[in-house]
A and B are shown apart, each in its own frame.
Chain A
Amino acid sequence: MQSWIPVLVYLAIASSVGVVMLGAARVLRVRARHVPPTRAATYECGEEPAGKAWIRFHPRYYLVALVFVLFDVETVFLAPWALATRALGGYAVVEMVVFVAVLLLGWVYAWRKGALRWQ
């Protein structure tokens, strides 16, 4: 675990960069004396915004997102395999050929069912 100390510390420093810059800007900023009431309005090409943006709408790729979750899990299986292939040799490759074949079968099924389509 010793080797993770620098990573944790580094992450803490990297996270503070943005906060520090926001703080510096708070000190340096020049505030407007007179603020027109429309300034804080949402931008919509200069018009008054027509309603809010927080509405329900069709994202068009719901099924792709589901397939994505499946394949994301599959990459979790592939990572340890990738690490061990060199050590395990031909046996591991044959196993992975079977695994990937099954996976690609599912992938073809998803494609044929139209799951990869922008709906």
Chain B
Amino acid sequence: MTNDPWLRALLEGAAVVTALMTAVAWITWLERKIAGRIQSRLGPTMVGPFGLLQPLADAVKSMQKESIVPRDADALLFWLAPPLTLALALGTAAVIPFSPGLLASDVDIGVLYALALSGLLSFPIWIAGWASNNKYSLLGGMRMVAQGISYEIPMVLSALVPVVLAGTLSMGGVVRHQAEHGWFVVSAPGVGFVAFLVFLLTALAEGNRIPFDIPEAESELVAGPTTEYTAIQWSLFAAAEYAHSLLASAIAATLFLGGWDGPVLPPAVWMVLKTGALFLLITWLRWSLLRLRSDQLMSLCWKLLVPLTLLLLLGAGTWVTLAT
């Protein structure tokens, strides 16, 4: 490896982004296969063995199609929203430790950075809903904002529980602490586990996944904020959604499930296994559950999760004090 920090960062960044986009492409295949099996179908079978080349076919198809910008839309914002969504969704990966040595950068406020970037995700989606000048899109965008102001607080508070337990805001530090003292999902009796559940739930809301796909709500709002989007622009939104699901799983695994820590197998394999398991769980939920209403999500978050996570934080603080 070279010693020039900029060149090194460029190579590593390009490697991480390439790996991520490849993973995103094939988890669309995985999701469609699982969805098929859950609904007693086969999923993709025609392109390549087991339909494995389906993502390539989809990519070529969406690039060949023509991007249509509606006459009444705000063209600049309309074009801006999809790449912005993807950039924010991919951005959190910069601080996720995939193994002790393999992470772009172990900045000392990694947890905050990841929360901040993924918290911004609701804005480009709102921009898309507004710019389309379509009633369904605008309603979807407004629902996205409603969702954003609901899940954000419990998410941040539940992600602070591992910070209290580990005494550090760096992602690498959180994992190292868990490698020495046990995973937070089981250590710190009850507190870590409940915080993990809350984090997972709010991550679903952030990624617009069922049971919280309220902005998209294809049975009510056509496709919500993405109604007017076609071809590659729509694909960017889809890629962003899958990238977010994947990275949210990775962050949950890092904060609560010990990240790369595990016996026998190499660290990177453990990280992939844990992330994959959480992603499978998310997919399973998607094809099993119903959708909540906007006000139901708001009630759930504000009347239950906010006080719960505040008490969890206090519990974590008390436990840390008693344990040391």
Contact = CB atoms under 8 A, between A and B. Distances in A.
Nearest to B170: A3
Interface string B1-20: 00001101110111011000
Contact of B134 (A4, A44, A59): A44
Interface residues of B, number: 93
Interface in A31-65: 31-32, 39-44, 49, 52-54, 59-61, 64-65
B190 interface: no
A93 B107 contact: no
B227 A43 contact: yes
B138 interface: yes
Contacts of B39: none
B206 to A, nearest CB: 15
Main SS of the interface on chain A?
helix
A79 B13 contact: no
Nearest to B133: A53
B138 A53 contact: yes
A13 B236 contact: no
Contacts of B310: 100, 103-104
A44 B135 contact: yes
Contact of A61 (B149, B227, B231): B149
Contacts of B84: 18
Most chain A CB atoms below 10 A, which of B16, B63, B65: B63
B65 A64 contact: no
A42 B87 contact: no
B167 A43 contact: no
Given A10-B17, A40-B71, A71 B63 contact: no
Contacts of A72: 152-153
A59 B142 CA distance: 7
A106 B13 CA distance: 45
Give the interface size bracket for A toward B: 35 or more
Contacts of B130: 54
A41 B70 contact: yes
Contacts of B164: 82, 85-86
Contact of B303 (A2, A30, A86, A111): A111
17 contacts: A5-B6, A5-B9, A10-B13, A12-B13, A17-B83, A17-B87, A18-B84, A25-B64, A29-B63, A32-B66, A42-B70, A54-B138, A64-B298, A68-B149, A68-B152, A90-B321, A116-B302
Interface of B: 5-6, 8-10, 12-14, 16-17, 21, 60, 62-73, 79, 82-87, 90-91, 93-95, 104-108, 112-113, 130, 132-138, 142, 145-146, 149-150, 152-153, 156-157, 160, 163-164, 166-169, 222, 227-228, 231-233, 235-236, 294-295, 298-299, 302-303, 306-307, 310-311, 313-314, 316-318, 320-321, 324
Interface of A: 2-15, 17-19, 21-22, 24-25, 28-32, 39-44, 49, 52-54, 59-61, 64-65, 67-68, 71-72, 75, 78-79, 82-87, 89-90, 92-93, 96-97, 100, 103-104, 107, 111, 116, 118
